[in-house]
């Protein structure tokens, strides 16, 4: 994995790919170039067997991602603006559909498109200095990268409507209380704590991890198909070498050595 013009990429020896949005002067705002580069890096990560998990964060101390780059879409006409939103939705669906776990380490402001980016990740850990929100109504627009859907799924209809209709961000402690983030830690512990979670996860069976992610995604559709996806995933795991290794390790009282087969 190589760095791009706006994203730093580092594949660690433990298989955790660290992606850092690196536009400090712009508070890491999501430009068109940044979204293109994220799409490219995610495609590479999906095809790279060495990548076992992804940690996504922002450079600097102020912002995870402070929003989309407003200057790039203020002059769009009606059809262009719809395409702009659909493109962002497609890339964040790609992120959400990754077969390896993706964790957002939220080091500061996660507003607008930045909050939508965090919502598309499977897990969210926030610094105590972080704040999250979808303030688009203050600009006369609405979230366009899937925020109306994912926030509602995550925190419930009433709280999601309150956050989006007022446009007011919430501090990290409140985000934790309403289930918007999984954990809140001190700023200096954000990356060590986040890496620690992912290190626990990557020790598990890769096939099982992918099937859990797939089944939970199906649950969001709110119909019985999620149960079918779960059953098919269970079947796939039962026929895997990882399952046989997991059972053997349990019976032999030793750590399992999974290899994704």
Q: Which of 39, 136, 214, 225 is catalytic?
A: 136
Distance linking the first and last C-alpha atoms of the chain: 23
**Is 136 an active-site residue?**
yes
Residue (of 55, 20, 48) closest to 34 by Cα position: 20
- Find the catalytic residue in 47, 116, 162, 230: 116
Is 235 annotated in the active site?
no
Active site members: 116, 136
């Amino acid at each position: 994995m190589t760095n791009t013009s706006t994203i730093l990429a580092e594949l660690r020896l433990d298989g955790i790919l660290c992606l850092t949005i690196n536009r400090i002067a712009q508070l890491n705002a999501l430009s068109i170039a940044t979204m293109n580069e994220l799409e490219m890096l995610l495609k590479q990560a999906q095809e790279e067997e060495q990548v076992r998990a992804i940690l996504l964060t922002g450079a600097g101390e102020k912002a995870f991602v402070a929003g989309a780059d407003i200057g790039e879409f203020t002059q769009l006409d009606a059809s262009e603006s719809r395409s702009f939103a659909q493109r962002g939705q497609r890339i964040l669906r790609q992120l959400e559909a990754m077969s390896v776990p993706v964790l957002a380490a939220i080091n500061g402001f996660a507003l607008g498109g930045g909050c939508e980016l965090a919502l598309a990740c499977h897990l969210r850990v926030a610094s105590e200095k972080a704040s999250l929100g979808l303030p688009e109504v203050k600009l006369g627009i609405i979230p366009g990268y899937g925020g109306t859907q994912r926030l509602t799924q995550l925190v419930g209809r009433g709280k999601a409507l309150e956050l989006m209709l007022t446009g007011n961000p919430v501090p990290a402690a409140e985000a934790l209380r309403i289930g918007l983030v999984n954990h809140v830690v001190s700023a200096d512990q954000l990356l060590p704590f986040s890496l620690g979670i992912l290190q626990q996860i990557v020790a598990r069976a890769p096939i099982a991890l992918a099937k859990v992610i797939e089944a939970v995604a199906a649950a969001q559709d709110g119909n019985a198909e999620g149960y079918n996806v779960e059953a098919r995933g269970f079947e796939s795991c039962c026929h895997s070498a990882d399952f046989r290794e997991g059972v053997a390790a349990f019976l032999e009282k030793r750590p399992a050595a999974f290899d994704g087969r």
